A and B are shown apart, each in its own frame.
Chain A
Amino acid sequence: MNSTIYKRKFPLIIFLVPAFLFMAVFLYYPFIMNIINSISNISDLGAPANGMNQPWYQNYIRMFEDPLMATAVKNTLILMGATIVFQVGTALLLALLVDRIRKGSQFFRTVYFFPIVISATALGLLFNLVFLYNGGMLNQLRAAFGAAQYIDWKGEAHFMFTMLAPVMWQYVGFYFVIIVTGLNNISTEVYEAAELDGACCLKRVRYITLPLLRNVLCTCLVLAVTGALKVFDLPWVMMGAGIPMDKSWLTGTYMYNQTFLRHDVDYSSAIAIVIVVLGVVISKIANTVFKEKDY
């Protein structure tokens, strides 16, 4: 619509300039600077650049040779896969179940969503207590059922589970709410028609619900991929400096570590660029594989 009262363009400047100025100064300019930083030689956070790196792509070569970076990328990809399978998968299962019941769906929605509003730092501490070696919740529970030995949840055998489970757990409710909203948009007539054709239960899910949910699931997938790259707080609080033995780094935590503990500003800028590139490439792939369709 183009109302006549909005023909005079002067107020528009006042409406738009402040917000876009903020975005230009604090998002776009830093983003471009970050690309430049990644090829420059910077000794400390506050220090100016001492010219370019020789050769300029030095940091990117170094990244390929850095075994810890390889670990970080590998773990982040695992996190991404786990997010898609377990987070979106659990959310889908729960949403399909909630769709079948009449009473209490509002209650489940509220309860499932709750962990998302809690700070990941608090959740990290909470799960530190849950996974504690000597008398944590899980080990106490195991002892109560007669297990003779405590499990070292942050040891080499279990650290992946310990790191991933809380992240998965926290965001299930988010995808749950999105999928439930999508399910509510499917008209009951479709189901009634299916019932007349004799489609029941699992068949109904497989041939009607899932295809109609395709676009919603596609959104979830892209959110899951980009979300996995942004994960920082929970692993940082729980796993600290890559315990055990530098095995649990994620791209985000590794970058923070390079900036503050190693003061290697240009290298961590390069890592940040890789994080963005990974996000764009993988969400593009996800988008083409599960291309949105109009029905």
Chain B
Amino acid sequence: MQEERELVQIRRETWTVLCLLTLVIMALFTLLAGTYQVESGNIWSVLTGSGSALDQHIIFNQRLPRLVAAGAVGASLGLAGAIFQSVSRNPLGSPDVIGFTTGSASGALFIMLVASSMTSSDSTGLPGISIGLGAVLGGFLTAAIVLLLTSHASKNGGTSLGNQMILIGIAVGAMLGSLNDYLLTRADLDAAESAKTWLYGSLNALTWDVVAGPVLLILFFVPATLLLTRRLRILELGDDLASSLGIPPKATLNMLVGAAVLLTALAIMLGGPISFVALIAPQLATRAWKTPGIALCQSSLLGATLLEIADYIAAHALSPFQIPVGLVMGAVGGLYLLIMLIRTR
């Protein structure tokens, strides 16, 4: 018993170290590799502040923001996914289930395709941040509608809260999804293509002015959300037991879902709706670290690592073409599900 516990402990620590190591290695790869080659001998001098101005510009103003954004988006999506999977008690739970992603896509499309044509300015001139804000607004509105309907439905009694949330999320999401398709068919081809790229989720061509604000917020909110871990654990035991232990299930649920929605919103503001990070990271983390229940902190770490790897692939697989990282994650996610299916045959 004692030995087994120690073994698990060692296993967990190994995974943590492995994850951090991969994170550092991927960071170095991302900073060094690209169409413009920075010599590996020069990297240290660039990082310490000396080195040629061109090297410094490429590394600090072009590759570093993308790297930081990938890590932050991965961490917040991983954490948000873990919360949703725990709250909905469903390994397939993710921000998609309350329609957040589809709603944010609607918001962004509205800004990109409708608002830009109304103000009759060229659509490419719109700053990325206003698209992000539109997305976040759309996401929040959708999530609010879904949660409102959920609380209305739960008044009639019935099954668990999480269950109803999923069903209502599916319905609202389907409706908004077809609205998005409609908006795409009504735009001209160029606008529709750039909108579609955003919809897949891409970290390409990010600069500090866009990245800085959301990243700082993520750096604050991820640890703040991790403080809720204990409450989440107790809520996992069931609504009744949680309230008998002095934790109001409904208020805690709202707080947790609120935090997860906020993290997703920040991630979407940076990179658009990137699929499958929120789904895979918590599942893999729980298996790797062998935690009881869903691992919050570890999901966050693994999410960051996953997205850095995926972003590296997206930037270099078909270089000089840039694939949106969301497409890479979609392929990875589909393969993950297929592997699970084949393994459990």
Q: Is chain B a partner of chain A in the same complex? A: no
Residues of B whose CB lies within 8 Å of any CB of A are: none
Residues of A whose CB lies within 8 Å of any CB of B are: none
